[in-house]
Structure 1
Amino acid sequence: MERSYAAKSGYLFLVLEFIFLVLSFLGFMRGMVLPSAILILVFVFCALGFVIVNPNESLVLVLFGEYKGTIKKNGFFWANPLFSKKKISLRARNLDSEPIKVNDKIGNPVMIGVVLVWRVSNTFKAAFDVNDYEHFVDIQTEAAIRKLAGLYPYDNFEDEAAEITLRSGGEEVNEELEREVTERLAIAGIEVMEARINYLAYAQEIAQAMLKRQQATAIVAARFKIVEGAVSMVEMALDELSKKEIVVLDEEKKATMVSNLMVVLCGDKEVSPVVNTGSIY
């Protein structure tokens, strides 16, 4: 469990070091070799205890395998020179993962990359519960991506019942990713500040086929809207002609008119009009 270590002021020991140095010099001047040599050894030993902790940094202290505490307060300090010291940054860090190939819920290979903002919140866990906490973040983030991909389809082309997909899930998918990564990194004392998908695409081997499928779906949807609009326009034209009694059409002529209007309105190319200068009958 993480605990704070109250380190001594480095400036106080700097003054003591100066005193040791002056006393040893005076001792040598007066022929007191042994006491002066001892003072020199004390001076060198104490000099090894000076440490500097910068803002948003910490220093984990261990004495002969026993955890003594963590210095989180920034400044100039002195600690037992026998302590082994390990600096751990408390700054927020970005992980911009390379897109990896994973399978979505229905087995389609997709490429997913994420941006992860994280920082160390518990120095004891980061230092002792995992071997290398930075490498741990990389591996567990990849594992979280793979699990997330298995929960949702890329889109709802094949799974029309899917309410949330990787492509359209938005905040829901990102929240699930953040929750999964947070659970996995808690063992290392890592706080996840944000996790978001920043790259999403079909894998290269199926990208072209899926693109054609999307295009076909879009064309069908567009045609449906065009036909729906054309039917409404034809219906309106017939109603207006009948209401204003501009021309009286029998059923055969109505069918011909409907056919011609549908061809004009639904065709994907411009039509060439034919002007009839004689009687329509």
Structure 2
Amino acid sequence: MTTTTSPVPENIPENAPEHVPEPGGPADDGPPGGPPAARPVRLIHTESTTEIPVHLLFRDAPEPEPVRLRPAVVARRADADGKAPQGRGTGERPRPAVPRIEPELVERPARVLPGVAGVLAGVCGAAGCVATSWWAGVLPPPVAEVFGPVARAGAAGPGPAQWAAYAGAGALGLFGFGGLARGRTGRAWVLGLFGRYRGTVRRTGLMWVNPLLLRRRVDVRLRHWRGEPMRAADRSGVALRVAVLVVWRVRDTARATLSVEDHEAYLRACVEAALVRVPVAAPGAGKGAVEAAQDALTRLVAADTAPVGVEVFAVRPVRVEYAPEVAAAMHRRRIAALDAQHRASVLGSVVDSVEDTVTRLTVRGLVELDDYERKVLVKDLTVAFCAGRGDTGP
């Protein structure tokens, strides 16, 4: 018996599936002169070959996250600073742009010298002028004899050198004496040169300030302001006239002087705007409502005045009254409410008195009353007590 084997290709991988000849199936044509090659057997008789689109092979892959655009303000700031903005790569969220305050609008101490330096400079300048006059020979003879012999006796007058000495000594004296200033407690100087802020002086005592600088005096003490009656409204929308007391002070002299034209007028405008937005406690309201209105007014005015360097401590309504157009109607309404309250209190006291009287009479056995007699007695006592209260008054 002879066994025939089919030739095995050389370039077949080891893990390639083996082809099992289908039993009873037709055989392919083999090499000439040899047995026919076996056709591979289908494991699933209904199998078919289809093409799978390439994009379906990657359906489970995560989609790329959308690129978030940074705000324009943050981008400009990052470009100006030369740094990349904080984003997803650093693990932090980009922060919103915050308006920066220019260095010129923030209070900083100015450069000043002690007053002794100005006095010395002024004295030196005056002494230089006297020495130049002696040098030029223009001093009177009695005065010149005090300083010694005249250097240029018989001179016609000061020459160019003497005039130059006069100019230097005079400028030194003017700068020395002209820059002297006195600082007082609770006052500050805001200095400026050619429209530019140069600093604030809060020192006290004698000091020397550059005389070329423009000085603006600012009061930094704790101050209070009581305004005229302003328009306001209560929670019901009734028109009111309110006079407020504002306790405040200047905290940043640079902003208070340079950021607004008049910080006191700005404070008044902020108080008027706050009274329009915050309901004020009506006359006769409780203590809690009054304190709540004060706190709301203080917070609102303090927030509005903080950017201009003004610090507000309290905004207290000191006088609250109804507007003239509603004063008469509200007065009648208040009187009616008081009258109703008085009547309710009187009626309550009368009922208590009648009940006490009837109870005492029946408990002590002074009278025996049935239901009808009890009602009649209660009615008579009520009329009598009400008439007595009406005659004697409350």
Sort the TM-score into its range (normalised by shorter chain): 0.7 to 0.9
For the 8 Å contact 2:270–2:304, the answer to whether it is kept is yes
Residue 364 of structure 2: aligned partner: 244
State whether structure 2 residue 325 is matched by structure 1 residue 205: yes
1:229 aligns to what?
349
140-149 or 69-78: bigger deviation: 140-149
- 1:154-173 alignment to 2 at 5 Å? 154=282, 169-173=289-293
Partner Cα separation in structure 1 for residue 312 and residue 114 of structure 2: 33
8 Å CA contact 1:106–1:153 kept in 2: the answer is: no
Alpha-carbon separation, structure 1, partners of 2:306 and 2:125: 47
The 5 A counterparts of 1:87-166 are 87-149=217-279, 152=280, 154=282
Q: Distance in 2 between matches of 1:103 and 1:255?
A: 51
Partner of 2:120: 15
1:120 alignment partner AA: V
d(CA) in 2 for partners of 1:99, 1:155? 14
Distance 2:199 2:273 in 1: 32
C-alpha separation in 2, matches of 1:216 and 1:177: 31
Separation in 2, partners of 1:81, 1:243: 100
In the alignment, does 2:300 pair up with 1:180? yes
Q: Say which is worse superposed, 169-178 or 254-263, in terms of deviation.
A: 169-178
With the length of structure 1 as denominator, give the TM-score of the two structures: 0.85
Q: Is the 8 A contact 2:121 2:175 kept in 1?
A: no
Partner Cα separation in structure 1 for residue 207 and residue 189 of structure 2: 11
Please report how far the alpha carbon of residue 77 of structure 1 lies from its aligned counterpart in structure 2 after TM superposition: 1.4
Q: Over residues 187-214 of structure 1, what are the superposed CA-to-partner deviations in whole Å (9 max), with x where a residue is unaligned?
A: 2211223321100011122222212211
- The one-letter amino acid paired with 1:80 is N
Match of 1:47? 177
**Amino acid of the structure 1 residue aligned with 2:325:** E
Does the alignment pair 1:257 with 2:387? no
* Residue equivalent to 2:54: none
The whole-number CA distance in structure 1 between the counterparts of 2:375 and 2:125 is: 113
Q: CA deviation at 1:252?
A: 2.4
Bigger relative contact order, structure 1 or 2 (CA pairs below 8 A, ≥6 apart)? 1
- Report deviation, 1:74: 1.1
Give the SS at the match of 2:354. helix
CA separation in 1, counterparts of 2:277 and 2:166?
A: 67
Aligned 8 A contact 1:51 1:76 in 2: yes
Equivalent position SS for 1:270:
helix
**Partner Cα separation in structure 1 for residue 281 and residue 219 of structure 2:** 38
Q: Distance in 2 between matches of 1:192 and 1:200?
A: 21
- Give the deviation of 1:243 after TM superposition: 1.6
Deviations, residues 197-239 of structure 1 (Å, cap 9, x unaligned)? 1000111222222122112112212222222222222222222
Matched residue, 2:390: 269
Conservation of the 8 A alpha-carbon contact between 2:124 and 2:169: no
Aligned 8 A contact 1:111 1:201 in 2 = yes
Deviations 1:78-105 (A, max 9, x none): 1222211111111222211111232333
CA 1:148–1:100 in 2, change beyond 3 Å: closer, same or farther?
A: same
Cross-structure match for 2:311: 191
Q: TM-score, normalised by structure 2?
A: 0.62
Structure 2: 5+ residue runs without aligned partners? 1-105, 137-161
* Amino acid across the alignment from 1:269: G
Measure how far apart 1:50 and its partner are.
Answer: 2.1
Kindly provide the amino acid, as one letter, of the partner of residue 134 in structure 2: M
The structure in which a higher percent of residues are strand is 1
Structure showing greater Rg: 2
Check if 1:35 corresponds to 2:165: yes
Question: Secondary structure in 2 aligned to 1:115?
Answer: strand
* Cα gap change, 1:170 to 1:106, in 2 (>3 Å): closer
- CA–CA distance in structure 2, aligned partners of residues 153 and 21 of structure 1: 68
Provide the identity percentage.
Answer: 26
| In 2: Cα distance, 1:168 partner to 1:223 partner | 27
- Report the RMSD for the aligned CA atoms in angstroms: 2.2
Could you tell me whether the CA contact under 8 Å between 1:24 and 1:40 is conserved in 2?
A: yes
Report if the CA contact (8 A) 1:154-1:166 is conserved: no
- Measured in 2, the distance between the counterparts of 1:102 and 1:195 equals 14
What is aligned with 1:6? 111
Give the direction of change, closer, same or farther, for the CA distance of 1:41–1:153 in structure 2 (3 Å limit): closer
Match for residue 208 of structure 2 among 75, 78, 91? 78
